[in-house]
Amino acid sequence: MFPLAVRRQVIRNRQRGLSWDSIIEHCGCSRAAAMGWWNNFVRGGSPWSDPALENRHVDAARFQAPFLRAFESLVLSHPEVLLREMKSIS
Nearest to 49 by CA among 36, 60, 35: 36
1-54 architecture in CATH?
A: Orthogonal Bundle (1.10)
The 10s digit of each residue's pLDDT in 39-70 is 989 988 888 776 666 666 555 555 667 877 88
Q: What is the pLDDT of residue 87?
A: 58
Higher pLDDT, 87 or 1: 1
Domain range list for the chain: 1-54, 59-90
In angstroms, the CA 7 to CA 55 distance is 12
Q: What is the pLDDT of residue 68?
A: 77
N residues, the chain: 90
The 10s digit of each residue's pLDDT in 14-45 is 999 999 999 999 989 999 999 999 998 998 88
